[in-house]
Structure 1
Amino acid sequence: MPHFTAAELPQLDTIFRLNLINSITGYKPANLVGTAGPDGTLNLAIVSSVVHLGSNPALIGFVMRPTSVARHTYENIRATRLYTLNHVHAGIMGPAHFTSANFPREVSEFAACGLTPETLAGFGAPYVRESRIKIGLELLQELPIEANGTILLIGSVQQVHLPDEVLRPDGSLNLDAAETVCVSGLDGYHAARLLARYDYARPDDSGARPLPAAS
């Protein structure tokens, strides 16, 4: 069985270590971050570090890599305070992954990657028209992570857009219907499917109780 210690990890081949550490956390959400610069130039970048931080108030975070090099997404968010998160689905995986290329600031990834910007409900950052689940956020807080120079950006949810068939009566989402995909490592895209939903767990229950299949 392969085994790696903290002392051994820095000695590994760089690409091997990148793939290993980016894979060990399992499946991650695939989202496109849409922003606009002060000059109107649109930017789009794929991220896999989006995380739910709370529902009241509704907060979502994602991790920005170190700003030792130009980070157009981060610069735009700081300038305008607004950005969007757009789920990647099976039909746009290739264009979504292509946004990770190092395009010059003056080049819009929307145009370069064949995706369409759209404005919804007057929000000041671009959504991805082809995406099916879309969230508009306003930057609320930045938390520098001193250990590696990354930054946790915390956004307040301002808008949510999704198709009728994705929203269940209880407020949960049918991600199968949206064909939302997830990411493993740096470059693996996976189709996810619902296996089960469980009722709220209580200590006095005999075990976790599955919800009806139609829920």
Structure 2
Amino acid sequence: MQFSKDDLGAMPSRYRAHFVNSLSGYKSANLVGTTDGKGNHNLAIVSSVVHLGAHPPLVAMIMRPDVVERHTLSNIRATGWYTINQVNSGFWQAAHQTSAKYAVHESEFDAVGLEPQFIGECPAPFVSQSLLKYSVKLVAEQVIEQNGTLILIGAIEQGEVSDNALCSDGHIDLNSIDTVAITGLDGYHVGSRLGRLSYAQPHVWPSALDD
């Protein structure tokens, strides 16, 4: 199948949403935990967390336009904090269910059966069942003019990762903790690692690395 910009525009809206969302391939599945600072906790699944840099440690997250009530965005703006919790195969269905439109006073933790956890000074809840999670402090918010979506840039503050997943050189073996990936709007997958390769250099074919 070949397609053009005109073809995309002619697609029914839900078909187009599935199709275009699938074009970018596998994306990380994360639950974003927030609080309004008044005891109301929120949990939302996102597939738009992107690494920005390691020194300082920064991540970006893309959010939909601020044109309707968005509890996660409101909470982040109110407190400046959020948590990012990678989804694993033990609770992927519950993670998906957090995308339902619960009322602002309803906690998705309670609604889907996940357990909140608090670490350090971060007021936002972590997901206890997640094996790789970290707290983030908002440092910047930018608007993408072309479609009104938002980019939130956050500094990684602290977190937890399963000892079984941490390699001697700092690499995190996501397969060992059954980390889940998302395709499109509702496809969930676990990875099958092909291997790790040495640092690429011109005219030298990479060699396999051992963990």
Q: Verify same fold: TM over 0.5.
A: yes
Q: What range is the shorter-chain TM-score in?
A: over 0.9
> How far does residue 18 in structure 1 lie from its aligned partner after superposition?
0.7
Contact persistence 2:37–2:123 (CA under 8 A)? no
Alpha-carbon displacement from aligned partner over 1:170-210 (angstroms, at most 9, x marks no partner): 111011111101001000100102111011111141x2222
Q: How does 1:21-32 map to 2 (within 5 A)?
A: 21-32=20-31
In 1, Cα distance between equivalents of 2:39 and 2:147: 31
In 2, Cα distance between equivalents of 1:78 and 1:63: 14
Q: How does 1:56-71 map to 2 (within 5 A)?
A: 56-71=55-70
* Pairing partner for 1:208 from 186, 197, 206: 206
> Which residue number in structure 2 is paired with residue 54 of structure 1?
53
In 2, Cα distance between equivalents of 1:8 and 1:26: 20
Q: Give yes or no for the alignment of 1:159 onto 2:158.
A: yes
Q: Give yes or no for the alignment of 1:145 onto 2:147.
A: no
In 1, Cα distance between equivalents of 2:207 and 2:146: 41
CA root-mean-square deviation: 0.9
Alpha-carbon displacement from aligned partner over 1:117-157 (angstroms, at most 9, x marks no partner): 11012322100001110011000111110111100101100
The alignment's TM-score, normalised by the length of structure 2, stands at 0.98
SS in 2 for 1:122: coil
Amino acid at match of 1:116: E
Q: How does 1:6-45 map to 2 (within 5 A)?
A: 6-45=5-44
In 1, Cα distance between equivalents of 2:151 and 2:104: 22
In 2, Cα distance between equivalents of 1:208 and 1:141: 38
Alpha-carbon displacement from aligned partner over 1:14-61 (angstroms, at most 9, x marks no partner): 111011000011100000000000322000000001110000000011
> Which residue number in structure 2 is paired with residue 178 of structure 1?
177
> Which residue number in structure 2 is paired with residue 169 of structure 1?
168
Amino acid at match of 2:56: P
In 2, Cα distance between equivalents of 1:126 and 1:7: 44
In 1, Cα distance between equivalents of 2:140 and 2:23: 28
- Tell me the percent identity: 44
SS in 2 for 1:90: coil
The alignment's TM-score, normalised by the length of structure 1, stands at 0.96
SS in 1 for 2:130: coil
Large movers: runs of 4+ above 4 Å: none
> Which residue number in structure 2 is paired with residue 72 of structure 1?
71
SS in 2 for 1:23: helix
In 2, Cα distance between equivalents of 1:147 and 1:4: 22
Amino acid at match of 2:23: I
> How far does residue 80 in structure 1 lie from its aligned partner after superposition?
0.3
In 2, Cα distance between equivalents of 1:92 and 1:173: 20
Deviates more, 1:114-123 or 1:137-146: 114-123
Residue correspondences, number: 211
Amino acid at match of 1:192: G
